[in-house]
Every structure is written in C-alpha cells, then in structure tokens.
Amino acid sequence: MNATVDRTPDTTPRTLHEPADVLVVGASAAGLTTVEALRRHGYRGTVTVLGAETDPPYDRPPLSKQVLAGGWPPERAQLRPPDALSALGAEFILGDPAVGLDATTRTVRTASGRTLRAEAVVVATGTRPRTLPGQTGLAGVHVLRTLGDALALRAALLGSARLVVVGDGVLGAEIAATARTMGCDVTVVGPQPAPMANQLGHAVAELLADLHTARGTGLRPGSGVRALVGSAGAVTGVSLDNGEVLPADLVVVAIGGDPVTGWLRDSGLRVDNGLVCDSRCRAGQGVYAVGDVARWHHDQLGELLRLENRTNAGEQAMAVAANILGADRAYTPVPYFWTDQFDTKIQVHGVVPAGADAEMAVVDGDPATGRFVARYRREGRVTGVVGWNMPKQTRQRRQDVVDALAGGRVRTPASL
C-alpha cells in the first residue's frame, strides 16, 4: 500500500508561534512524513526523530506481502535512501524507545537515559501486536509488525508445511494469501463469518472467503481459540473452542494491536485506546499525535476516531505538520485503506456499516467478472464504497462518501 504525498506548497497564513524545535517520537511512516512535511513547508528549526527500532524508517504494508514472499529484499521496504534522510537535516536517534513524557515541559525520557526536550512533540509510536496466553516462549509462534518479524516469519515459512493464522482481519488474510503463494498449507481461524467481514460487509467478505478457498486456504469462520498446543517447547497445533485441534508447524497471531501508550502513563495527557486529541490532532499544549496511536476528534463524523492504516499515517502527519506551523485546520479525512491478496486489489473509502440496516448495491461492474464497486448506505446516507479490482471507478465513487460527510454526520462502526 502506498500513500499519495502532497507536495503542494503550504500557503496558509501563519497565526501561531512556530516552535524553535520539534521532537518526533516514532520513526516509521507517520513520523518521517511529519518531518518531510515540516521541511517542505519551509520549517528551518531543529528536528529530532526518536525511534524504538534500530532500522531506519521503512514501510510496513510490504512486510506481509512483498517482503514476506521474498519478492523484495528488506532494504527495498525502506521509505527513503540514506542521502534523502540526511537531506532533511534532522537528527535520527534509533534503537532507544521513549519511556516517559512530561507534557508540561515537553520533555521525553528514553530507555538509555537520554532526556530530550522540544517546543513541539509529535507522538508517532504506533501499535504493538496483541498476543495469546501461552504464546511467549513457545517456538514457532509469530507476530508480524516489524521488519525483523517479517524476516523471521519468512525464514520459518520456508521450513514449515502447515501454518495456522489466528486472526481473520486485514493482516491475517494478507499473511494467509502470501503463505499460500509460497506453497504452505494454510488455515485461517477467526470469529467473523468470513475474512474481513467487519471491514468489507458480509457480501464482499464472502467473495473474499471464496477467493481464499479457491486458492486452497482452509477457513474456520466463527471460531475462537481455546489454547495453543505445544510439545518440547514448540507449537504443534491450535485448539479451537469447538474442540477441534488444528495441527501446525507454525502459528501466526494476527489479532490486532494495542496503541503504544504505556510510556505516556504519567504524562498528564488523556490516554484511552490511543492518545486522545482534539480535531487538530493536538493532545496538549505543544503535543500532537499521528498515525496508529492517535485517537482524534473527527468533526464531520462527530466522534473520536483511531485508524490503523498506511494512508492515514501519511495524511495525518501532513495535517499535523501544517498545524504545528500555525495552520489551525481540523483533520477530517475520508477513511481509506486497501489490501492486495492473490491477484485481487480491494479498496475501501469511508466505512462499511455492520448493522442489519445497512444497504449494499453494486454500482459498477459485476462480481461475477471479478471487477466491481459496491456502495453502502445506512439510513439513506452513503457511508462507504468497496472496490474489487476497479481502482479508477472506486476512486470516482469516493465522491459519494465525501458528499455524505459534508451533508452531516456519518456514524462509524466501533471496529474502527
């Protein structure tokens, strides 16, 4: 997945004091895009980027696809080459996670004992994968969040025959598709009636289930995991709540992530399923949040929203950079994500309502041909569009969602 970078010069009149220095806590896509947007808009102050990982900024979406499959070498996932990072004139401190923040003085403490202070602090610490009880210390059980996770999982897949993916959301479905193309026997376990049902709606999710089944993926919809089964310290299977035990040489746990906010516990800021922000993505005086960790007030939706996808990471970072420099603009995006599985590209603009009162209609193409766009309504208002191998037409239908948002509030499902 890729995000479009807005390179239009920012001509918004500055009404607020520009900070002398900016500290970005988090060195992935959201953090890096914040720095690039600051520089693009003419900011010449001191910029420091603090990252928990030792790798330079890289893109996460290719990890479950191109990197995992071996089509890309690890370095191709890097967001920018070294000379481009150097040209930003920012100091990158990597491999030293933040452990505390004093929001009043905007001072960050790190694991190594550093103390960093800036007039503006941007929190971009993302999420960490959730795990299952008994997972720690059991060989053969993986998560996928970092580049290191992807490389370890790829190495394990090359030597394993049977994979069970616990989790039927976007990440779980992508890992399953990639592993099948690598020749692994794959079974997906999850509570939904079909993979990604909460994100796509029942009808489109059933088509995704058919796609996986046709490619040889085993599905266990509506299933919960009772326990991981192991022998001699290594996983041997997954026990389901219906009593079935799925044999496995390898298990991937893809059951979502938790915002990395533990280091903010004593900051004085509000933490509740992310760092809570106003409509400007501002959590406190001089403190902002971007990306997966940010839970901000979306003025058009009329509620707090937290999005975990690559597109939001880039768009929100650009909005925050502008606001740091005095733009004072509300961040009101149309939620958007996409996923590539096998030979299918699925795109979602807006939100797909999960309730029984949701209405779905195919407005372009035909599911029978493997190319279509579906539009969702709730209470007579368009809430989202889902495209299946029709990127141009899906983009055009996005305007229906834009118009609906402009006309009034569109309620979002709790899953977002």
Helix axes 310-324 and 29-40, enclosed angle (nearest 10)? 40
Q: Beta strand 91-93 with 46-50: parallel, antiparallel or unpaired?
A: parallel
Q: Does the domain made of 21-128+258-324 have the CATH classification 3.50.50.60?
A: yes
Per DSSP, helices labelled H in 1-114 are 29-40, 66-69, 82-87
Q: Which residues contact 83 (CB under 8 A, 6 or more apart)?
A: none
Q: What CATH topology corresponds to 343-407?
A: Enolase-like; domain 1 (3.30.390)
Structure tokens at 232: 């001699």
pLDDT in the model for residue 2? 33
Say which CATH superfamily domain 131-255 falls into.
Answer: FAD/NAD(P)-binding domain (3.50.50.60)
**pLDDT tens over the chain, length 416 residues:** 333 333 333 444 444 579 999 999 999 999 999 999 999 999 999 999 999 999 999 999 999 999 999 999 999 999 999 999 999 999 999 999 999 999 999 999 999 999 999 999 999 999 999 999 989 889 999 999 999 999 999 999 999 889 999 999 999 999 999 999 999 999 999 999 999 999 999 999 999 999 999 999 999 999 999 999 999 999 999 999 999 999 999 999 999 999 999 999 999 999 999 999 999 999 999 999 999 999 999 998 889 999 999 999 999 999 999 999 999 999 999 999 999 999 999 999 998 987 656 799 999 999 999 999 999 998 888 999 999 999 999 999 999 999 988 875 555 544 34
pLDDT in the model for residue 6? 34
Q: How far apart are CA 40 and CA 88, in angstroms?
A: 9
pLDDT in the model for residue 410? 53
pLDDT in the model for residue 11? 40
Q: Which of 13, 6, 17 is nearest to 40 (CA)?
A: 6
Q: Which residues contact 394 (CB under 8 A, 6 or more apart)?
A: 347, 349, 373, 385, 386, 387
Q: Contact 338/327 with Cβ under 8 angstroms?
A: no
pLDDT in the model for residue 137? 86
Neighbours of 380 (CB within 10 A): 7
Topology match between the domains 21-128+258-324 and 343-407? no
Task: Parse the chain into domains and list their residue ranges.
Answer: 21-128+258-324, 131-255, 343-407
Neighbours of 159 (CB within 10 A): 8
